[in-house]
């Protein structure tokens, strides 16, 4: 793995005509927005975990074969405050601010995790407004043209601006544009409120169901079908005593969760019609990302990038990541779970056992429906492997894979964009932001969605650190 993937990039760019090699398809028009951690220091302090870096937004615009690019640091309250103080003062996921501060500062933080608004994980469009998201409930809006930060999203509901856990990946209804997400307080028990944000009323989170779990558990994404919203309760549980006492010892939130596999993993299936909840239990697995979910003959099928346990989180601490990288053994596989609504039985099968698989993407046209192709990122099958470098297309009906990879090339999350009017599910392109270890710069790769062969690349003059997620918005935003 190349350490430059996780090196700070502070510079903001505006490039009107990015050098293109190959030919961008003429039908291809719109904007790719991406988010990810990009700045890992403040003064003498350094972030301890990859997920903690200050957010940077990127936009690639495609207009009649011409590509332009813009990047801006997300100017959050936390970023501004840290910059003013010259140290990391917010309590990040894997970096406890108090670990770098004095004892009195630690005491003043005892009330719990302070508000963190470094929303560096994902992007969503909510009622026409562009927002940056993380696994905390705070959302930060930005201007899609200038990429300037606008400020916190304020909700006019009973939770208001309360700082809670939320998921970086709301599920979007492909027909209505409504978003589904969850909220849960950092506390001794695990009350989870599942909510919907209607596309035409984005200021209000309408609670559709509540789930009580014994402890607060980590969640990052969901399943959504036309009839159901699925919350996954993993046995990665918050130890509130450790969280409170850990503040004196500089233990961050990420190290306050413990993996309890004997409890298994649960699917809470919520009827979108009446809010009734049906719970299914299965073997323990850890998940960041669901791939797709759909209904089929009285069953719910949900495909997941499933990890054997939660050790991937520890591997993203820089101490581990920069010396040992990620391990193939603890990586995720694409798994299919089938939840039988009549019998309560859960079936599970590995779809493509040869490939590790995460950072999934599908055609928006098949979200919530039976589908055939999942795109993602996997690790090469060789002993020297310490990072995923294979862009994958998996035929989920056959369990076969097609891959793109190149020497010293480190691709990010693939985003599939369907060709307007295309008949086949994979008729379109796959976008991925790639870091080229040979040149030390990045490029936006465009692959043919059918063959996974390169169509074109837009070559940047600079390096972009390994990012997380983004969205493609068709046409002119
Ligand atoms: Fe994610």
Dump pLDDT digits (tens) for 121-148. Answer: 999 999 899 999 999 999 999 999 999 9
Strand partners, 35: 57
pLDDT given for residue 318 in this prediction: 96
Q: What pLDDT band is residue 98 in, cutting at 50, 70 and 90?
A: low
Torsion angle (degrees, nearest 10) of CA 129, 94, 7, 454:
-60
Q: What pLDDT band is residue 110 in, cutting at 50, 70 and 90?
A: very low
pLDDT given for residue 112 in this prediction: 44
DSSP assignment of 317-338 equals BHHHHHHH---STT--EEEEEE
**Residue 317 tokens, joined:** 């601490």
Ligand 1 centre and the CA of 93: distance in Å? Answer: 14
Ligand 1 centre and the CA of 167: distance in Å? Answer: 9
Ligand 1 centre and the CA of 247: distance in Å? Answer: 26
Ligand 1 centre and the CA of 359: distance in Å? Answer: 7
Ligand 1 centre and the CA of 350: distance in Å? Answer: 21
**What pTM was estimated for this model as a whole?**
0.95
Ligand 1 centre and the CA of 287: distance in Å? Answer: 10
Ligand 1 centre and the CA of 1: distance in Å? Answer: 21
- Give the pLDDT mean for 350-374: 97
- 113 vs 89: CA distance, rounded Å: 12
**Residue 212 tokens, joined:** 């009580």
Ligand 1 centre and the CA of 343: distance in Å? Answer: 32
- Give the pLDDT mean for 109-116: 52
Ligand 1 centre and the CA of 64: distance in Å? Answer: 31
Ligand 1 centre and the CA of 334: distance in Å? Answer: 15
Domains of the chain and CATH, by start:
3-9+21-31+123-474 (2.130.10)
Ligand 1 centre and the CA of 184: distance in Å? Answer: 18
Ligand 1 centre and the CA of 420: distance in Å? Answer: 27
Kindly tell me if the per-residue pLDDT of 203 is higher than 90.
Answer: no
Continuous segment of H or E residues that includes residue 82: helix 77-85
pLDDT given for residue 113 in this prediction: 45
Query: Phi and psi (nearest 5°) for 302?
Result: -135, 125
Ligand 1 centre and the CA of 469: distance in Å? Answer: 7
Kindly tell me if the per-residue pLDDT of 107 is higher than 60.
Answer: no
Kindly tell me if the per-residue pLDDT of 31 is higher than 70.
Answer: yes
Q: Looking at per-residue confidence, does 188 or 334 come out higher?
A: 334
Ligand 1 centre and the CA of 290: distance in Å? Answer: 9
- Give the pLDDT mean for 366-379: 98
Residues in contact with 112: Cβ distance below 8 Å, sequence separation at least 6, in sequence order: 186, 243, 244
The two most distant CA atoms of the chain are separated, in Å, by 64
Tokens 């004196």 belong to which residue? 248
DSSP assignment of 248-265 equals HHT--GGGGEEE-GGG-E
């Amino acid at each position: 793995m190349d350490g430059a993937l996780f090196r700070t990039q502070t510079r903001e760019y505006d490039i009107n005509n990015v050098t293109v090699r190959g030919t961008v398809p003429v039908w291809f028009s719109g904007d790719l927005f991406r988010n990810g951690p990009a700045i890992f220091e403040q003064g003498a302090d350094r972030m301890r975990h990859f997920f903690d870096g200050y957010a940077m937004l990127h936009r690639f615009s495609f207009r009649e074969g011409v590509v332009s690019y813009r990047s801006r640091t997300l100017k959050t309250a936390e970023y501004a405050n840290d910059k003013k103080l010259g140290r990391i003062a917010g309590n990040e996921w894997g970096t406890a601010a108090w670990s770098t501060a004095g004892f009195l500062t630690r005491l003043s933080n005892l009330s719990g995790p302070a508000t963190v608004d470094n929303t560096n994980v994902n992007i969503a469009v909510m009622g026409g407004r562009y927002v940056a998201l993380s696994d905390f409930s705070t959302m930060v809006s930005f201007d899609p043209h200038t990429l300037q930060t606008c400020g916190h999203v304020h909700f006019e509901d009973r939770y208001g601006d309360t700082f809670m856990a939320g998921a970086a990946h709301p599920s979007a209804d492909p027909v209505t544009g409504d978003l589904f997400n969850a909220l849960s307080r950092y506390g001794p028990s695990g009350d989870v409120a599942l909510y919907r944000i209607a596309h035409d009323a984005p200021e209000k989170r309408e609670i559709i169901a509540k789930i009580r779990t014994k402890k607060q558990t980590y969640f990052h994404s969901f399943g959504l079908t036309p009839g159901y919203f699925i919350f996954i309760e993993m046995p990665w549980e918050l130890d509130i005593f450790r969280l409170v006492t850990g503040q004196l010892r500089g233990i961050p939130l990420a190290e306050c969760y413990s993996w309890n596999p004997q409890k298994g993993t649960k699917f809470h299936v919520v009827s979108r019609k009446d809010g009734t909840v049906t719970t299914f239990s299965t073997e323990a697995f850890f998940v960041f990302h669901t791939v797709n979910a759909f209904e089929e003959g009285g069953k719910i099928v949900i495909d997941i990038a499933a990890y054997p346990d939660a050790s991937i989180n520890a591997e993203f601490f820089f101490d581990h990541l920069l010396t040992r990288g990620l391990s193939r053994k603890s990586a995720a596989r694409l798994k299919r779970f089938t939840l039988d609504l009549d019998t309560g039985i859960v079936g599970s099968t590995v779809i493509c056992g040869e490939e590790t698989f995460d950072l999934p993407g599908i055609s928006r046209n098949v979200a919530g429906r039976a589908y055939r192709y999942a795109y993602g990122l996997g690790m090469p099958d060789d002993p020297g492997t310490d990072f995923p470098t294979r862009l994958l297309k998996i035929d989920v009906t056959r369990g076969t894979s097609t891959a793109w990879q190149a020497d010293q090339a480190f691709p990010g999350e693939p985003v599939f964009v369907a060709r307007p009017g295309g008949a086949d599910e994979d008729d379109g392109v796959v976008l991925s932001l790639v870091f080229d270890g040979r040149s030390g710069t990045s490029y936006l790769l465009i692959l043919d969605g059918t063959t996974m062969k390169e169509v074109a690349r837009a070559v940047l003059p600079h390096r972009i650190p390994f990012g997380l997620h983004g969205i493609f918005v068709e046409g002119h935003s």
